[in-house]
Structure 1
Amino acid sequence: MDPQVVDLARTAGTTVVTLMATDTWNRARDGLVALWRRVHPERADQLADQLDATREELVAARHAGDELSESELTAEWQSRLRRLLVAEPALAEELRRFLEELAPADAGQPAADGISMHATASGHGRVYQAGRDQHITEG
């Protein structure tokens, strides 16, 4: 499988789940359903319902502090988008453009790989940032 397709699906799945908890969710949802409709028109309405259900699960998981459920939802959408891109590789460029439109910009500059992080620590504070999984063990 093309590593670029895998990477795009991973980024897209993470972005989709992240956007579920933002004000841009409806726009993101509609755009994703439109992409899906091009490949699987018979399943587009079902996908819309699944996205709404995932959003409800995400909101509940965040409210409960359930990071595992959020990770599982992200992995699920990464997998779905990978399968969509495998079925229709021509959608890759359109999906990239769609993600760029939805990605936050910092001072007018697009964030690299859709990730922008800022942190400040003072005194004895520590900052740990990662664009993906991070495991810290301190003794």
Structure 2
Amino acid sequence: MDPELAALAATAGTTLVSSLTTEVWQRARDGIASLWRRSQPERAEAIAAELDTTRVVLMAAQGGGDADTAAELGAEWQGRIRRLLVARPEAAEDLRSLLAELTPAAAVTSSVTQHATASGQARVYQAGRDQNFTER
């Protein structure tokens, strides 16, 4: 398989599963079902039903603190999408368009507000990410 299509399938599996627990889950479901409808119409309804089941399983796993299920479901969908792309490489462009729509919603993170008060000789170091410094 073309490495670019394999990478696309990997990204799609992860993005799809991440989207299923956000406000755009219906768009993700409809987009993937539409992709199948154009490529393998006989499988489109089954794929939509499997996405519904995936969402239920994922939400239950998250509610129970199970972090491994999301990765497993992502790998499962990666395989399905990879097989679709092998059979119909022309579907890649439609998949890229769908991912472009879903990625901002899937990448949303919660905001962080930091407050600190230092008094006397105290120092406060805060960072939203990496922080490097050298004291002498």
TM-score (norm 1): 0.76
Aligned mates of 1:128, 1:85 — CA distance in 2: 37
Point out 4+ residue stretches in structure 1 off by more than 4 angstroms.
Answer: 114-129
Which residue number corresponds to residue 54 of structure 1?
54
Which residue number corresponds to residue 37 of structure 1?
37
**Is 1:68 the equivalent of 2:71?**
no
Instruction: Summarize the alignment of residues 20-35 of structure 1 with structure 2, pairs less than 5 Å apart.
Output: 20-35=20-35
CA distance 1:103–1:39, shift in 2 (3 Å): same
Range with greater deviation from structure 2 (115-124 or 93-102): 115-124
Q: Deviations over 1:58-88 (max 9, x none)?
A: 0011111111111110100111111111110
Identity among equivalent pairs (%): 49
CA distance 1:72–1:127, shift in 2 (3 Å): farther
Paired positions, count: 121
Which residue number corresponds to residue 102 of structure 1?
102
Q: What secondary structure is seen at the aligned counterpart in 2 of 1:66? A: coil
CA distance 1:44–1:69, shift in 2 (3 Å): same
Q: Deviations over 1:26-78 (max 9, x none)?
A: 11111110100112111111111100000000001111111111111010011
Which residue number corresponds to residue 133 of structure 2?
none
Which residue number corresponds to residue 110 of structure 1?
none
Which residue number corresponds to residue 78 of structure 1?
78
Which residue number corresponds to residue 111 of structure 1?
none
Aligned mates of 2:107, 2:23 — CA distance in 1: 18
TM-score (norm 2): 0.77
Aligned residues of 1:119 and 1:127 also touching (Cα < 8 A) = no
Aligned mates of 2:126, 2:45 — CA distance in 1: 48
Q: Bigger radius of gyration, 1 or 2? A: 2
Q: What secondary structure is seen at the aligned counterpart in 1 of 2:89? A: coil
